[in-house]
Amino acid sequence: MKTKSYLLLTALGFLSSSLFAQDYLVSTPNTSLLIEATPGETVKIQYYGSKIENSDIQGIYDVGMVFNADSYPAFGLQTMGEKAIAATQPDGNMSLDLKIEQVKQYPTKDGEVTEILLKDKVYPFEIKQYYKAYQGTDIISTWIEIMNNGKKSVTLYRFVSAYLPVQRGDNWLTHFHGHWGAENMLEEEKLTNGQKVISNKDGMVNTETDNPSFMLSIDGKPQEEYGHILGGTLAWTGNYLLKMDITNTKLNIIAGINEENSHYKLEPKETFKTPEFAMTYSTSGKGGVSRAFHRWARMYKLSHGNVERDILLNSWEGVYFKVNQEGMDQMMKSFSALGGELFVMDDGWFGNKYSRDRGDSSLGDWTVNKKKLPLGIEGLIASAKKTQD
């Protein structure tokens, strides 16, 4: 009887949680994110995966599939575990107690946005959490706006873009690492308990060694065309941090600006906006993740992304620094005969006083090297026009 009573109470607990909570679905054609956002409470992510409908939500609660994980945990009243935001108030207090004030869902020209306003219970401090489902894609993005409505400055010590729970299982991480001349080399590894961090502190050179993107498998070593995989990328060109926080039963992804030595003084009435973090969920392996991001990038991030590009040849791999008039003419002629449409002359053409023959010379001497190109750029233009005749 005790076991039955316990099971009954547990079931009733799930039932009441779903009945009295306010749930919001953020959906794309093939994926859904379920957010529980009840005024006066914290925001919780309950589900992210293959698409579900409103009629499926109760079943998600009933079978215990929910994460019940805070979507943006704040440092202060709860100090265990990784946090998404940490700030010091003008009086030195480091605690935040952010509760939901309002939730709005509205369409935009390129998708649908869910906007959640949270206010601190003591201080004039607010954040807005955004989730955006991009129209015609399987990409959902998220970002944060942090607002200081007080009369004195507040110091931000952590301000991530995304805090996302993932199903714990046979999880594998796919990411890209490299160096000059060997950028974006794919690496895959099984995730074990602890933390896995991908970070960069090189400023503007932020993708030469590591890349602010990843794929995370749910059900074993990732395959190209099958398997459940979550993909994510941070739209940020500065120092970044991607962290996987893993225990026996939980896995959380924390993504955003690398806060090390980057605290930010938020002045009165100022708003700080974090970079956008974009994510997708695939049941078709790594290929499904790649195709989703490529479609999104073409539709919304690249200039004229859906316009067919010219067929291009770059001179670098053919001649490196050994640029000369005859060689460029021959490359353009041969390439044009194959159907080529655009030729790019790469490094090695400049440095009239200090010849550009290696990678550590001539920068700043942006004049055409007359020994290499006696007819100048005009001579190359004339040669290019001849290939069109």
Q: Give the mean model confidence (pLDDT) for residues 313-329.
A: 95
Q: pLDDT tens, 138-154?
A: 999 999 999 999 999 99
Q: Give the mean model confidence (pLDDT) for residues 328-343.
A: 94
The secondary structure of residue 346, as a DSSP letter, is -
Pairing of strands 312-314, 342-344: parallel
User: Which residues is 31 bridged to in the sheet?
Assistant: 50
Q: How many CA atoms lie within 13 A of 190 on its CB side?
A: 6
Q: pLDDT tens, 23-45?
A: 999 999 999 999 999 999 999 99
- Residue 14, number of CB atoms within 10 A of its CB: 18
Measured at the alpha carbon of residue 381, what is the angle toward residues 379 and 383, in degrees to the nearest 5? 70
Output the 3-class SS for 211-237.
CCEEEEECECCCCCCCECEEEEEECCC
Calculate the dihedral angle through the C-alpha atoms of 160, 161, 163, 168, rounding to the nearest 10 degrees: -110
Q: Give the mean model confidence (pLDDT) for residues 101-109.
A: 97
Same structural domain, 43 and 182: yes
Structural domain boundaries, residue 271: 23-301
How many structural domains are present in the chain? 2
Structure-token pair, residue 145 = 């706006």
- For the chain, give the percent of residues with pLDDT over 70: 95
Same structural domain, 285 and 356: no
Output the 3-class SS for 45-105.
EEEEEECCCHHHHHHHHHCCCCCCEECCCEEECECCCCCCEEEECCCCCCCECEEEEEEEE
Same structural domain, 194 and 334: no
Strand order in the sheet with 23-27: 23-27, 31-36, 44-50, 69-70
The secondary structure of residue 258, as a DSSP letter, is -
The answer to whether 185 and 168 are in contact (CB under 8 A) is no
Last residue of a domain, one of 278, 301, 324: 301
Same structural domain, 355 and 278: no
The answer to whether 73 and 22 are in contact (CB under 8 A) is no
User: Can you give the length of the chain in residues?
Assistant: 389
The answer to whether 230 and 284 are in contact (CB under 8 A) is no
| pLDDT score recorded for residue 81 | 87
Last residue of a domain, one of 257, 272, 301: 301
Looking at this protein, which amino acid is placed at residue 34? L
Same structural domain, 241 and 380: no
Same structural domain, 204 and 353: no
Same structural domain, 65 and 179: yes
Structure-token pair, residue 130 = 């955004």
Q: pLDDT tens, 241-270?
A: 999 999 999 999 999 999 988 899 999 999
Same structural domain, 221 and 246: yes
Same structural domain, 273 and 245: yes
Same structural domain, 280 and 183: yes
- Residue 35, number of CB atoms within 10 A of its CB: 22
Q: pLDDT tens, 348-366?
A: 999 999 999 999 999 999 9
Tell me the Cα Rg of the chain. Answer: 26
The answer to whether 153 and 88 are in contact (CB under 8 A) is no
Total-model pTM: 0.88
Same structural domain, 202 and 161: yes
- pLDDT confidence band for 20 (50 / 70 / 90): low
